[in-house]
């Protein structure tokens, strides 16, 4: 035992471990909840431990719930958020005590969690707006939940804090984004006054097979914007594939604006200027 969190007192009481073995080979994540010393305290492990610590009734909410639903790019050290009546909690756990209807709770990866719609509702209200868009892009991509589902919850909770921000976040969410930098690139372009780009544009050959998929862009102008992560620059095979893709796109009449982490973080104006120039040239 010990690969998953467990209640130490219970394990000793039934004879699975002696008090000495518990002290020697296991560590406490939260008061009374243990795992083997070799287990990495990932967000999943800490979430399961938090549910054991809290007892029932309890519901995992917020970022921890998003992770249970398959959302990517959640920080490993994110606090575990729980919904329960008792607000006191140890370090690393954030407790909310809002009312959740039965249809706002489900089982996610074996744990009681807020539904995707309710999770999006809470994240959209509570997180920094840009970070909320990043998380909801991934949550909606993973679960298929729609903005209309989240808005329906807002209608049921008219007095909830942060509704104005949440509605603004939902207007910017796009389930096609495949990473936070792609989300940030899209937000940069929209806030610069450009039309919202289409994400994950599929180009098909004469047989109807997809031969290229673009991060984002505009079909009407044949302008694509591609975010290149580090592997695009350091992986020789990826670099070779990229060169072939650019040649295919150029042959099909597309202009491609490539975005790097450095450009996005330190010279966002250059990204916008290059996109505007590409659109201008394609519009002639």
Spell out the domain ranges in the chain.
1-39, 42-172, 180-283
Rounded distance between C-alpha atoms, residue 270 and residue 273, angstroms: 5
pLDDT for 230 beyond 60:
no
Q: Is 215 helix (H, G, I), strand (E, B) or coil?
A: strand
Q: Of all residues in the chain, what percent carry a pLDDT higher than 70?
A: 94
Task: Tell me phi and psi for residue 130, to 5 degrees.
Answer: -65, -40
CATH superfamily of the 180-283 domain: VSR Endonuclease (3.40.960.10)
Mean pLDDT for all residues in the chain? 92
What per-residue confidence (pLDDT) applies to 56? 82
Residue 202: strand pairing partners: 213
Rounded distance between C-alpha atoms, residue 131 and residue 27, angstroms: 33
Q: Residue range 257-269: average pLDDT?
A: 95
73-77, 79-83, 246-250, 266-270: lowest mean pLDDT where?
A: 246-250
């Amino acid at each position: 035992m010990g690969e998953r969190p467990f209640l130490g007192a219970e394990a000793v009481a039934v004879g699975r471990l002696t008090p000495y073995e518990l002290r020697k080979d296991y560590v406490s994540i939260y008061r009374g909840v243990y795992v083997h010393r070799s287990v990495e305290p990932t967000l999943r492990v800490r979430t399961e431990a938090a549910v054991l610590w809290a007892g029932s009734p309890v519901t995992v909410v917020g970022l921890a719930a998003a992770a249970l639903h398959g959302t990517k790019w959640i920080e490993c050290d994110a606090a575990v958020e729980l919904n329960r009546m008792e607000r006191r909690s140890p370090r690393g756990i954030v407790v909310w005590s809002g009312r959740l209807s039965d249809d706002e709770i489900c089982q996610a990866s074996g744990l009681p969690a807020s539904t995707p719609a309710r999770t999006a509702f809470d994240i959209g209200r509570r997180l920094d707006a840009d970070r909320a868009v990043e998380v909801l892009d991934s949550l909606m991509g993973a679960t298929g939940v729609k903005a209309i589902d989240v808005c329906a919850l807002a209608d049921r909770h008219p007095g909830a804090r942060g509704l104005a921000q949440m509605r603004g976040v939902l207007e910017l969410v796009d389930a096609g984004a495949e990473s936070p930098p792609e989300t940030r690139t899209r937000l940069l372009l929209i806030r610069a006054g450009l039309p919202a780009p289409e994400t994950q544009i599929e180009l098909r050959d004469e047989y109807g097979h997809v031969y290229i998929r673009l991060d984002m862009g505009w079909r009407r102008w044949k302008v694509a914007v591609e975010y290149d992560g580090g592997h695009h620059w350091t992986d020789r095979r990826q670099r070779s594939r990229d060169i072939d893709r650019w040649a295919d796109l150029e042959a099909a009449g597309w202009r491609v604006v490539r975005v790097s982490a450095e450009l996005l973080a330190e010279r966002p104006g250059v990204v916008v200027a290059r996109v505007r120039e590409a659109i201008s040239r394609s519009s002639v």
